[in-house]
Structure 1
């Protein structure tokens, strides 16, 4: 039985990942800054990973074979730049440092969750984006994720830990909150259905994104953590470009609404098109997404209609 430590364990992806790990028979230990009661069959240890001594004590107590490092601060939540960098880069340094101090029959494995924000504004003609595409991050979040990835590989250069870095693209599916594209649109559609608003005000409908169900993303992380994997960098994405307009139209269709409820506002993202290539993940790991976008949006909208407003914390999602 493998002992897996999940940082940011009760955020959106962490919740799906914990459940999946348990279904595969792994011993799961979660951690985050908040105090929580662990679900049956799990352990939970509250730790601030910005504290080097506390992080070392956590790793020493758990002795994990693999760490899934999801803990981070989402840029949409408006953190101070210094806090964002500390939550992304300093926590990664402390986790790597603690893992390097452990001893075992094999180096501890670190699955480092990055973001497609590391790629930034890649020209549309250079899509789909591969792992060899130069990084052009635009904001502090993308730069911090890129720095954390580089730092982790530097800490692993002498072989004392083994790092696999992921660069997931846009997430979708149950548990999404309104900091995500699909989550924000689904909430507005649910509000119209409930009479909380008359119209949906949206912008940037022509932006193209690459959406993957959160459950498929969690499955990719588990497959990448298999003991025989050597490490490296992997995009986690569907490989299919979808406009935000298509996401909205699908949600409207699922809700039985039409475009008359939509009001298009000015504004847009600096990243007009971001579509990834998951060819390396498919070829080397045998992973492919299995959940269609319409199913992801159906499950998400059902939660929003039921009045569920997920609150993610300590976890990044592209």
Structure 2
């Protein structure tokens, strides 16, 4: 069996670390070259910054490594408009420019976001064909990256797929996410008896998916022989009240104090009251379904946090 070479950008990030592990253990076999802004010396790593690096440097990297697959895990949740555009749009655009020149046969896998959908009808799992109307800059920039990939695929310039990831949770979850903030707040509260945990409103429903399940979907999209659909949802398929997920986190931590919902509503998705993924296409295109339930994911998140 031929081992496929994968060039993984953003390999040291929250999602990138899990994707690297899933690729390395995939039954089909993969030789992973991890790429980051900083990289340790030695084989298996390369240094490049998709945000600031030049076109020529990227072409040289692609030519030298000759990958069968390129995976882009570079992205930014929060920041200025310019920072979000650079990380979520320009980084993908650079790959779309360079791959046809230096690795025209390589498949490109890009991580999109459920934030691209914006407000959706409550109770109706969103399909990839539903209108995308993001409510904040993060979702707008992720949608712009997806639109560039769609256009390149339609023009026959690249073999590519965007995985629209819903709310990934797991070890190393950043504080920019609701459960990441909750984990940090609970950890601090446990050191001071009687301290409350203060968060924003927790009444919205979200689709939480284990980061390891996300990584397995990326590995399947990268290494599956048939060309997948250009956009695929990756979630759990279930909408859960954020309050329930935070309650599971408190249970895992043994925290019995008060959780007060007094902080401001997050601007990134505060107006989205309900969302869940329709996973039909991911099942058909990738033969993929999530394997871990929310309780397992939350307990593993807490175990890693402490």
* TM-score, normalised by the number of residues in structure 1: 0.87
Q: Give the SS at the match of 1:121.
A: coil
Q: How does 1:1-318 map to 2 (within 5 A)?
A: 1-24=3-26, 25-33=29-37, 35-37=38-40, 42-50=44-52, 51-75=54-78, 79-102=79-102, 107-125=105-123, 127-195=124-192, 198-225=195-222, 226-258=224-256, 260-265=257-262, 267-268=264-265, 269-305=270-306
CA contact (8 A) 2:8 2:70 kept: yes
Q: Give the SS at the match of 2:245.
A: helix
Measure the CA separation in 2 of the matches of 1:178 and 1:87: 18
- Cα deviations across residues 102-135 of structure 1 (Å, max 9, x unaligned)? 356xx2101111111100112325x211111100
* TM-score, normalised by the number of residues in structure 2: 0.90
CA contact (8 A) 1:97 1:155 kept: no
Distance 1:137-1:197 versus aligned 2 partners, 3 A rule: farther
CA contact (8 A) 1:48 1:54 kept: no
Measure the CA separation in 2 of the matches of 1:94 and 1:139: 23
Q: Which has the higher contact order (CA 8 A, sep 6+)?
A: 1
**Structure 1 residue 297: Cα displacement:** 0.9
Distance 1:208-1:230 versus aligned 2 partners, 3 A rule: closer
Q: Which runs of 5+ in 1 are unaligned?
A: 306-318
| RMSD of aligned Cα (Å) | 1.9
